[in-house]
Amino acid sequence: MTAAHVRRGGAARAQARKPSKVAVPKKIAKRLPVNQARANKVAALIFGAFVLAIGVVVLVALDIPAKAERAAGAAIGEAGFKVSGYQIVGLNHMNRALVDAVVADELRRGAAEAGSDKAPQALVDVSEIRRRLLGYGWVKDARVSRRLPDSLVIDIVERTPAALWQNQGQLALIDDHGVVLDRVAVDKMPDLPLLIGPDANGQEQQLGRLLDSVPSLKPQLASATWVGSRRWDLGFQSGEAVLLPEGEAQATEALAHFAKHDRSDLRNWPRTHQMTVRLPRAPGEPITPPSAPPPPQEG
């Protein structure tokens, strides 16, 4: 046997071992709007994508990406980047213990994941801390960041109390959007307007627009009762009470009339304005019943 025969035989065997390409059967290719070569290329791409998808599924099923992430995080922690403390900024009214509990939970989880006594910086989920903090009424916004090498910074933006809401015998602080911030004990009520009634907190913005139309009355408001889910009864520090009509436009007009008239004019308030005004009595002022309407005249 010559060397040429050996080389040809080896080449033949090498060609036999070469993997065959993905090809579309000719019968199917004839029915496609492309030629055989292009159909083979498309089939190869689809097959490659299928193999890749299978590989991804296997990796996810074996939890390989998460294991690699945990291993990398633990290694970073062993290099000295472990959380040993944290700083809270912007906390004025909210109970600090609530923030401490959220942060402590996440640090315990990170430490357990790394199998160490302290959580590595890389394994602390700052997004999860922020998400849980935003669930508290006081928290308008929260930013959680890592401060290398070994601490966290929790920056909280609190909501501003705008009123008290009384409903079903309970008092709560609310902001100017009606968001409930916290419960309040009766003996610890701050000096804020009192909103009374079911869903009165949800009408805080409407009430704010009404009072913005009469700036002189806004600081004098003592209470506001949301009546029948349709209108407001306002009580002022002077003792006057204004029962506004339904509808924001009508209530705004009536409140403007109230602000322009003095007490003597209000005693003869015309019913055409569809508003009732109750005035406080001076000490010792007699209570006189309303005069009876004149008898009908006989024609």
Domain CATH for 218: 3.40.50.11690
Least confident of 79-88, 190-199, 227-236: 79-88
Average pLDDT over residues 290-299: 47
Residue 44 CB-density burial (10 A; 0-12 exposed, 13-18 middle, 19+ buried):
middle
Tokens 């209530």, located at residue: 251
The pLDDT of 72-97, averaged and rounded, is 76
Answer yes or no: do 167 and 274 share one domain: yes
Summarize pLDDT for 145-181 with one digit per residue, the tens.
999 888 999 999 999 999 999 998 899 999 999 999 9
- Decide which of 106, 141, 158 is a domain's last residue: 158
Based on the fold, state whether residues 180 and 255 are members of the same structural domain: yes
For residue range 35-54, list pLDDT tens digits in order: 556 656 666 666 666 666 66
DSSP 82: B
Q: Which of 101, 127, 158 lies at the terminal end of a domain, its last residue?
A: 158
pLDDT tens per residue, range 201-237: 999 999 999 999 999 999 999 999 999 999 999 999 9
> φ, ψ for residue 54 (rounded to 5)?
-60, -40
Is 43 domain-assigned? no
Instruction: Grade residue 27 by pLDDT with cuts at 50, 70 and 90.
Output: low
Write down the pLDDT at residue 3.
52
Strand ranges, E, within 48-201: 85-89, 139-147, 151-158, 163-167, 170-174, 180-183, 194-196
For residue 45, being part of any structural domain is answered with no
Tell me how far apart the alpha carbons of residues 255 and 214 are, in angstroms, rounded to a whole number: 7
What pLDDT was estimated at residue 284?
A: 45
- Report the mean per-residue pLDDT for the chain: 78
Is residue 273 domain-shared with residue 194, that is, in the same domain? yes
Q: Is the same domain home to 130 and 192?
A: no
Domain stop point among 127, 158, 189: 158
If one compares 84 and 1, the residue with the highest pLDDT of the two is 84
Q: Work out the pLDDT band at 193, boundaries 50, 70, 90.
A: very high
Instruction: Tell me the two tokens of residue 105.
Output: 């939970």
- Contacts of residue 124, Cβ cutoff 8 Å, sequence gap at least 6: 83, 106, 107, 110, 146, 152
Instruction: Decide if 18 is inside a domain.
Output: no
Residue 24 lies in a domain: no
At residue 126 the predicted structure's pLDDT band, cuts being 50, 70 and 90, is very high
Q: What is the mean pLDDT of residues 133-142?
A: 96
Closest of 189, 89, 184, 219 to residue 143, by C-alpha: 89
Please tell me whether residues 178 and 133 are part of one structural domain: no
Whether 168 and 229 map to the same domain: the answer is: yes
Q: What is the mean predicted confidence (pLDDT) over 249-264?
A: 82
Can you give the residue range of the structural domain that contains 194? 163-278
Residues 173 and 142 in one domain: no
pLDDT of res. 154: 97
Give the domain CATH number at 139.
3.10.20.310
pLDDT at 37: 66
88 occurs within a structural domain: yes
Residue 37 within any structural domain of the chain: no
- Give the total number of structural domains in the chain: 2
Q: Is residue 252 a part of any domain in this protein?
A: yes
Confirm whether 99 is domain-assigned: yes
